[in-house]
Structure 1
Amino acid sequence: MTSFRFLHAADIHLDSPLRGLARHDGLPATRIREATRQALDNLVDLALREQVDFVVIAGDLYDGTWKDAGTGLYMARALGRLVQAGIRVFLLQGNHDAASHITHDLPLPDGVQRFGTRAPETFEIDHLRVALHGQSFAQRRVEQDMTPRYPTPVPGWFNIGVLHTSLSGHGEHETYAPCTPDALLAKGYDYWALGHVHERAVWGDGPHIVFPGVLQGRHIRESGAKGATLVSVTEGRVTAMDHLPCDVVRWARVAVDCTDLASESAVHDAIGLALRDAMDETLGDRLLVARLALSGATPLHARLAANSGALRIHAQQIAEMLPGAPAIEKIVLTTTLPVEGYPQPQLGDDLSRLLEEALADPLLLDEIEADLAPFLATLPAVSETDQGDAALARVRAKAWTPLLSAAADTLRTRFTTEAGDS
């Protein structure tokens, strides 16, 4: 066998609509919306720079059917650059770009091969002695394990299984083509190139089962570096797997410790320091989009909660003055009053008691659901990757316990503020 290298990518979601950006004032929406295209360009540049022998894309090139031909033209241009450089591309369709879900199609030039939907098929690269086995989704929802029908490995060759799957269930992602790592290993392939799970994950010391993760994070739940996996193979064995970033917008949860801070200027300084540290980790000319999480026991607890709008404006101003001008997606306050030296609101025990009584009263919960039903009916449909704010997600799920708890916390803060101002 000869030595070779390939790039494994998945979940490009080109031109993803990125619903919900309008809820966050001050975000550079245009730059964020164009990020999936720029990340695709970075993937192609990476393949050219590293002179890989081929590229594997394990599903979800698109987020759904194209809104216009521009999406398909952009993908065609990117794939064309690879083909012109002599780099072969192997791709399959996942749940977001399943054959039944995409109303447009992309004419594939020589050098780009797409796995069919009727049954698993094998593509071979003779001079490298590589065999790739895979099957695209015919329908968006695939509830059965697809791997039992995958072919046996080609003897003496490097065998790659390509599959869009949730594996045996993975976090917030819906279940598609479920299977287990043990079942994949039993196929006898040398590498499993998976897609669908948006966080990078690797199982086993070999053969490796790999999710490269989404190519470009699109919201705060897709935080951290995003990109593709560069795989090096020597004499039939994987000798290196390097996760290389392709993202141009990086989402991050930035912690700000407000413990014992007694002035708003001190809080502002802490925000600036936390953002600088986060910018140092982001690297390059990427846009950092930060969710600031303020925590700790501080005498400013009530004032921060009562003036959250002004706090956000100050945070945005601080960010604008930093190199790279990070964007503020949201501020989450979980600060508390110091235990010693500050009167605690007496309302807490009463609210706790009322909350317990409310959650134990099925008639009251039914009334809450009935009152919210007209509101729920006005909400637009959302995709599995765009659940919106936590409060809305809880309303959709009828999760009354955390909603009532949040309402109680808000009341506590209001009463604390009034007590401190009196």
Structure 2
Amino acid sequence: MQASTYLLQSIPVDELTGAIAVPIYQTSTFVQEAPGVNKGYDYARSGNPTRRALEDLLAKLEYGHSGYAFASGLAAIDAVVKLLSAGDQIVAIDDLYGGAFRLFEQVYRRFGIDIVYVDTANPAEVAAALTERTKLVWLESPSNPTLKVSDIQAIADVAHAHGALLCVDNTFASPVLQQPIRLGADIVVHSATKYLGGHSDLIAGAVVAATAELGQQLKFIQNASGGILAPFDCFLVIRGLETLALRVERHCSTALKVARYLQTRPEVAAVYYPGLETHPNHAIAKKQQRSGFGGIVALVLKDDTQEAATRVVTSTQYFKLAESLGGAKSLLCHPATMTHKSTPVAQRRAAGVADSLIRLSVGLEDADDLIEDLGRALDALTAAKAETEVELEAEAQLA
């Protein structure tokens, strides 16, 4: 069965009315026949039929036991970390999303949880970092924003041998391209704000557990902490999932064209995209992401300065300067001053997030139009540099 068919056939028809779209149960509570006797729901924080439909769908798409919908991607990450206790350790990817880094460092480190950052694209580094305190290995694959790809199966084997869980942030790939649980992961998280929703009109997060035991723990945390996703937003994510396979296919094909074009530009020092044969993790990406390489492309300018990056990201027409990614409209951002601003400069640079790195979220516009847009911005950078050089030479002659 093809991905688009699987997605559409996985969305349930309403048993009560036959509605082809999942109904929005916009209610805070449910009438009970007697104390503790109800029709499966009692209070909407604990459960809601619209949210249940989404959660069951998420579990099915990720080949997990159970799914849980949260108010944001960070709320989803927060729920997973709450599986740990003081004294436990997380081994995490070194170019971790800035929001997750902030949560790990400024919240959970204060609660006695230690975090070690390594290049997870090298499983040997993960193995070397594991200790008896390590309870969780945290991957993003591909990572945000340098598009590192980690060998999920190899790292799952290493983590499990040490008694640790493996959690994979699958936001960039989406379940259309990659199912980490089938590769050995214990938990999958998503910022459903991105590709799952797909239209830049909601904030949402998701967690999928591989086993019933983990599912029970996450369900308890979801209910106890209360960071649930509202019914209307659940409906919007379900609606986004209906077109996910088609959108991801278009994102992938256009992103590859954009990446190959950027490789030809003299202003560009490096292009990060797993679909390029020059990408250091291309082989494992091809193995894990069987039908494409995603819609995110990153580039580093030869003029590795924030000033150069700022000029480029403020010179595009079709690529809009904004946080987030995965929507129908193309976006771009400057991680050093936007998404990864909370990461210390030295650590950010060491992880490969250069001062001039620009992250592109390639949307659904025509590929040629997007390439032309980037070409104009890079031409403007070259022209500005030439103008500056002329001015400096003139000043030198006057001096």
TM-score normalized by structure 1?
0.29
Determine which structure has the larger strand proportion and give its number: 1
- Higher RCO by CA contacts (8 Å cutoff, separation 6 or greater): 2
TM-score normalized by structure 2?
0.30
